[in-house]
């Protein structure tokens, strides 16, 4: 049945999971020994070859599909952990760079303050020299052209 314009499709409800897998067998939780053994093997190699999967399943008394799914889930957790660690490193580096940037900005601002102070001091000194020259006509400024004449 095709819904007409403006109508929505009827929703299908999922069947509740009764804990049974394919073929009606209940999903078994792995024992601590099985998990430890799988963890040790995962530490050696993250990928799972067919022969290795069959051997692990046989040694642990599990279905090969269950071993494959465990490895797939473990690789996903391992990848997420690596991403979180990389994120933490990058975040720390970013924060230290932001702090360094703030320090450099404060140095620049301080330098600008000192530059303004020295500029004001120079202007005051220059103005006082001009006043002195106005009071005493014997004091005069020599232009570069006049300096050449005196040489």
pLDDT tens-digit series, residues 49-63: 999 999 999 999 999
Supply the pLDDT for residue 143. 63
The mean per-residue pLDDT over the stretch 75-102 comes to 97
Residue 28: pLDDT band (50, 70, 90) is confident
Alpha-carbon span 48 to 40, nearest angstrom: 13
- Cβ–Cβ under 8 Å, residues 4 and 26: no
Asked if residue 112 has pLDDT above 70, the reply is yes
Backbone angles phi, psi at 30, to 5 degrees: -70, 145
The mean per-residue pLDDT over the stretch 109-119 comes to 94
Which pTM does this prediction carry?
A: 0.54
Alpha-carbon span 13 to 31, nearest angstrom: 33
The mean per-residue pLDDT over the stretch 12-32 comes to 65
């Amino acid at each position: 049945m095709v819904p007409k314009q403006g109508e929505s499709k009827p929703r299908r409800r999922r069947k509740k999971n009764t804990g049974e897998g394919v073929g009606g067998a209940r999903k078994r939780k792995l024992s601590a020994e099985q998990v430890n053994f799988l963890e040790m093997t995962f530490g050696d190699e993250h990928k799972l070859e067919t022969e290795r999967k069959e051997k692990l399943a046989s040694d642990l008394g599990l279905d090969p599909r269950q071993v494959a799914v465990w490895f797939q889930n473990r690789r996903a957790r391992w990848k997420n952990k690596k991403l979180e660690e990389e994120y933490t490193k990058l975040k720390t580096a970013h924060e230290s760079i932001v702090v360094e940037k703030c320090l450099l900005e404060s140095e620049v601002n301080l330098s600008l303050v000192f530059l303004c102070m020295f500029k004001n001091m120079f202007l005051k000194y220059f103005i006082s020299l001009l006043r002195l020259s106005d009071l005493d006509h014997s004091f005069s400024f020599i232009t570069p052209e006049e300096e050449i004449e005196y040489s």
